[in-house]
Structure 1
């Protein structure tokens, strides 16, 4: 799933490609992806792109005051085309194309989504805050307003909730998902199951977590800056320390990276770095062994 660093890099790439360009039309191939009806999708036809922004994991293309807001969900992506096909994409369960934005010189981009579970969402609005997911977003962890005091209050309000889940909750902190929550907790040498309140009450732990959030995300944004969309996935994968690295050696201590599985996701961590050498209980594996 694209998270804050990848979406920020996509924004930078799209600004370079789209700013000041005219949108000729937007072709919709996956009708379920469009979540709004007023303004219609056709309101974007003939508009000029004034800017591209990010709200958490949401992309926002501002075209003459009409905003196309996109959430790429788990398997969505953007693919640039120097020349789009003459024939618009057709609705098909076999095609990954959800929509195509065609520019005035017949270049453009495809919004794609792999797999059978389709969650990519598009909204055409006059104000990004009209998108429910954007309106509910918590503070951006790379914004100057995200201070250590803000993080402390977030953790206090979360009480005994596990820090991994708190960091992934978009209404609490915007932009951090499964991958980077694993990565920054590894950098902080902190268990993903550590209660949020206990961190808030330990000044050293609070500072460590705050520093890890800013440094891990900041470094990922810096590495991704200037890369084209086609190169971003590879960049992310090549720099992960523990996420999706189950069974491999931890790059810090050499211990084996472990995994805890849930119904629709999993987390990865290093026992030596994060849990005092103790493996965390994997409930799914426990059930299988009974």
Structure 2
């Protein structure tokens, strides 16, 4: 199991911690979308968060969508995940190239710009749950920390990172989400505040060889960590020609007939994985029936 998420508790269930390594997941997304380094970093951070938050949901058919709409050149990022560790996503403008930030690092905040974060949870109810927050830093981790505190009233700390190789492939990727339960004692909160001060970069720790289990220990090692389980995670898109066919049918008979009348095959691309599906005229006629 290369990419995986660890679920753990500590301090007698006063806190829960999720930690993940997602290098292959982010690299697969980079290859699918041919993203620039800063676009890879932005998408990779949100993919990691989406994978973790997806596994927080209970139902087999529950779907989480994270959507960032920003004023920066990347324009927006969309990530969708399920409760089994499958995640997929894309950036609106994958080829963005901008200078490094003041720290000499990829300027994710500059690429994203000011905007909003939408968190949509489809749990099989009549209406999905939708939470929305204004981006605080556009670095993504801090924005999710703010979202949890304000929209879900859960004090949390989120750390996310993507480190690139010189050839623009993904060197490291991963992250953690730490959440306090309502009954957490003040001493536990103080311990975590001090502990988190020592974690300046998730990717630095991953580069040093830290596993998700060791990340959890680093954060809460003195509080009696209990690893609950680990879940494989991967970049996975469930698109298929059959699903795309249903999308074509949904545009209506008149529109489909217009396409047929033009006499040319059509090509439909999946946003999430960039797979192309070609429909010949005969196939379109079948769909029209």
TM range (shorter): under 0.3
Q: What TM-score comes out, normalization by structure 1 length?
A: 0.25
More strand by share: 2
Structure with more contact order per residue of length (Cα contacts < 8 Å, sep ≥ 6): 2
Q: What TM-score comes out, normalization by structure 2 length?
A: 0.26
